[in-house]
Amino acid sequence: MKIHHLNCGTLCPYGGRLVSGEGGLGAARIVCHCLLIEAGSSLVLIDTGFGVEDSAHPYRQLGPPFVLGMQAKPRLAETAIEQIRGLGLDPADVRDIGATHLDPDHTGGLPDFPDADVHVFRAERDAVLKPTLRERPRYPRSHIAHGPKWVAHDGGGDKWFGFESVRVMEGVEAEVALIPLPGHTRGHCAIAIREGDGWLLHCGDAYFHRNEVAAHPGCPPALRLFQAATAIDNGARRGNRDRLQELAQSHGDEIRLFCSHDEVELEREQSGTSAARGALP
């Protein structure tokens, strides 16, 4: 099994260090950290970032408020399907997609893999199919117009480091678990992947900045306000973020946590040492 850490979309909101914690007050750079897992004869994606049609028609696909507000920069070269081809792999081998949630910067690639099973918590699937008035702007219909092959999971299942989990993708040569972390959206989750003797934990948007799970947690002010404003249940979001911070401090030798949008975390995983970690027995 081999794991690739991909940036499948770039956002450049104004605010600089108020968003990223460093630099000036110009545009910040936010990534869309996705995973590609080579598991036997098939491929597994964890989130998809922006897709081919997003890069060609961003305003139509994503909507002007999202494109302008987040300064979204979807590029064909950053799409998952193009990066898979660049690795010499066949996009048709993507048979399973795990979605941390269904916001537009996580689902644009779904139409590029129409035959893949899309694993998501039932609450999130229901939110995108029957959104409330408040939820409607965050779920573009363009990303699900092809009729994704939903695999909707309920809560319960095994325990994972004190969290409830649901093991998914049976028959795939990878051990993967969906960990319920509602708050940012009603069915938001983290996705854990067994890596040798330890685990990777893709935390999605349960937090946005690496310092939120540090020993002395903190977050740039604009990013803190953004997370509170966009959360469906901010109390639940904060509670789950705090649980992740405790997990990182108590089990950091067993679990490597990262979120969807921290560029430094992505670069850490893409560094020379991550290549060695990716070649698993």
pLDDT tens digit sequence for 28-67:
999 999 999 999 889 999 999 999 999 999 999 999 999 9
Q: What's the pTM value of the predicted model, to 2 decimals? A: 0.94
Distances (CA, A) of 193 to 1, 150, 213, 273: 11, 20, 19, 18
Q: Mention every residue, 6+ apart, whose C-beta is less than 8 A from residue 127.
A: 102, 135, 139, 185, 186, 187
Distance (Å, rounded) from C-alpha 136 to C-alpha 174?
34
- Token pair, residue 239, equals 């509670």
**Which contacts of 264-267 are long-range, i.e. CB under 8 A and separated by 24 or more positions?**
264/210, 265/33, 265/210, 266/5, 266/7, 266/31, 266/33
What is the chain's mean pLDDT, rounded?
A: 93
Give 166's strand partners. Answer: 178
Query: Using an 8 Å Cβ cutoff, are 96 and 116 in contact?
Result: yes
Distance (Å, rounded) from C-alpha 173 to C-alpha 168?
11
Higher-confidence residue of 91 and 174: namely 91
Query: What backbone torsions phi and psi does residue 268 show, to the nearest 5 degrees?
Result: -60, -45
CB atoms within 10 A of CB 73: 17
Placement of tokens 């999202």 in the chain: 66
3 state SS of 65: helix
At residue 36, the pLDDT reads 98
Q: Mention every residue, 6+ apart, whose C-beta is less than 8 A from residue 158.
A: 165, 166, 167, 177
Is the pLDDT score of 129 beyond 90? yes
Query: Using an 8 Å Cβ cutoff, are 140 and 61 in contact?
Result: yes
Is the pLDDT score of 276 beyond 80? no
Q: Is the dihedral of CA 156, 158, 161, 162 positive or negative?
A: positive
Residue 131's pLDDT band, with cuts at 50, 70 and 90, is very high
Distance (Å, rounded) from C-alpha 135 to C-alpha 101?
13
Question: Assign residue 65 a region: left if phi > 0, alpha if psi is -120 to 50, beta otherwise?
Answer: alpha
Is the pLDDT score of 142 beyond 70? yes
At residue 272, the pLDDT reads 55
Distance (Å, rounded) from C-alpha 162 to C-alpha 157?
12
Q: Tell me: the pLDDT tens digits for 3-22?
A: 999 999 999 999 999 999 88
Amino acid at position 171, single letter: G
Q: What is the mean pLDDT of residues 207-229?
A: 97
Level-2 CATH architecture, domain 2-278:
4-Layer Sandwich (3.60)
**What percentage of the chain carries pLDDT values higher than 90?**
85
Residue 273's pLDDT band, with cuts at 50, 70 and 90, is very low
Q: Is the dihedral of CA 244, 248, 251, 254 positive or negative?
A: positive
Residues listed for the chain: 281
Distance (Å, rounded) from C-alpha 1 to C-alpha 250?
27
Is the pLDDT score of 278 beyond 90? no
Distance (Å, rounded) from C-alpha 184 to C-alpha 264?
22
Distance (Å, rounded) from C-alpha 223 to C-alpha 114?
33
Q: Tell me: the pLDDT tens digits for 29-38?
A: 999 999 999 9
Placement of tokens 């916001």 in the chain: 103
Placement of tokens 């330890």 in the chain: 198
Q: Tell me: the pLDDT tens digits for 104-120?
A: 999 999 999 999 999 99
Distance (Å, rounded) from C-alpha 259 to C-alpha 190?
9
